[in-house]
Amino acid sequence: MKPIALLFILLAATASFAQTNLVQSVAPSTPQNSTPDATAPDQRLAITLDEALKRARANAPAFHAAIMDAGIAREDRVQARAALLPSVNFTTGAVYTEPNGTPTGRFISANTVHEYISQGVASESLGFSSISDYRRARAAEAVAKARAEVATRGLLVTTIRAYYGVIVSERLTSNAQQAFDEGRHFLDITQKLEHGGEVAHSDVLKAQLQSNELQRGLQEAQLAEEKAKLDLAVLLFPNFTLNFAVVDDLRFAPPLPAVDELQQLAARNNPELKAAVAAAQAAGFEVSSALGGHLPTLSVNYFYGIDAPNYATRSDGVRNLGYQVSATIELPIWNWGATQSKVKQAQLRRTQARLELSAAQREAIADLQAFYSEARVAHLQLDILRQSAELAAESLRLTTLRYQGGEATALEVVDAQNALAGARNNYDNGEVRYRAAIANLQTLTGKF
């Protein structure tokens, strides 16, 4: 071999070795004892329903907005109460007036040329409107608390639907996988029987069409499962992730209480009704506050300290410390109908609030009956759906045996496969329906 050819071979080998090292250095390395999420599902975060509700409360902006509104209403009530109580302030200062040869100086408002003020002031202003404003603030706080509870229970329903949406989508995917496997098994049976001359080629075609349809159903179920998990991930995690799994507790739904017990719970715990009652009370206090504009207001001020020509407690043998009390009654006479206009506005709001309260009471009764009926029917159907799934599985088994024995057609097997897939899905959807009905019922009654 010539030296030049040998040199080119060495250069090519060196370049190949360097490229291999470069790829290995650039490629991301996997730490020891670590496995990607796709291959280690047991390392995913297991989320229970209670954990999901806790995470949803921590991350839902609409829920936090309702909680903030309740906090703001609480501070409004504190401020309204403070307006009914005396306020205490301290004032200190000095006034110098140009002298004019007299003790008071040039300005007639001056007491002396040098005047020093250092006083504590307690002030109180009372009127009928102030008391009504405080009561209205208390009612508004009750409204905000009730609406925060409404938001809490609404978030509970949303989270439960999303949580069990993931569970049922996983079950439907499992059902679709089983149906596809059964379809492939039937296709294999028809192909073997055709090869033995026992069935026509049309049976193979029918089985192949069924297998294709079941494969498409499996793909759709997998897509629905992915979407359901994405929806739940958005609801639960501030930093988006799919590295979690939900705990399937669908079969441990709480029992349905008696209707009398639910009516008692709803009468005590319905937040929508509480909000409507508190809103009607607030509207009534608003009318009282507006009427207070026609009544007098009493203001009392108490001063204690010094108001003297020297900044001292005593000067020239005279004690400067002392007190002064002033009281003022303000009588409203004329304001161009503004007060009466406020009264009319408040009366209109009160009328509307009373109408909304009446509607809320009727709606609460109807909702309780509707949600209870939905939960009762869903609960009653669970046994029927379970039995249908068991019967459909046995029917498919027997029909397949009959087909292998030449006593059934391929169409009967396909119908049995479709019936079993539908029965399985109906049972899983029935369990989710009952759990969602319980969640809707608990928005009116609270947890039971």
Q: What is the pLDDT of residues 197-215, one digit of tens each?
A: 889 999 999 999 999 999 9
Identify the pLDDT of residue 44.
81
Same CATH fold, 88-126+296-331 and 44-85+129-294+354-445?
no
Does the pLDDT at position 21 exceed 70? no
Cα-flanking dihedrals φ and ψ of residue 242, to 5°? -115, 10
CATH 2.20.200 is right for the domain spanning 88-126+296-331: yes
Tokens encoding 338: 């503004």
Interatomic CA distance for residues 150 and 270, integer angstroms: 9
Domain boundaries, the chain: 44-85+129-294+354-445, 88-126+296-331
91-108 as b/e: b if 16+ CB within 10 A:
eeeebebeeeeeeebeee
pLDDT digits (tens, 9 = 90+) for 374-394: 999 999 999 999 999 999 999
Q: Residue 427: name the closest of 216, 74, 192, 174 by CA.
A: 174
Angle at 107 between CA 106 and CA 113, to 5 degrees: 65
Angle at 419 between CA 171 and CA 248, to 5 degrees: 15
The answer, yes or no, to whether residue 310 has pLDDT greater than 50, is: yes
- Percent of the chain beyond pLDDT 70? 91
pTM: 0.75
| Alpha-helical segments (H) within 60-127 | 61-84
Confidence of residue 42 (pLDDT cuts 50, 70, 90): low
pLDDT in tens, 252-270: 888 999 999 999 999 999 9
Instruction: With cut-offs at 50, 70 and 90, classify the pLDDT of residue 136.
Output: very high
The secondary structure element, H or E, covering residue 362 is: helix 338-404
CATH for the 44-85+129-294+354-445 domain, from 1.20.140.10, 1.20.1600.10, 3.40.50.10540, 3.40.50.1240: 1.20.1600.10
Residue 342 phi/psi, 5-degree rounding, is: -65, -35
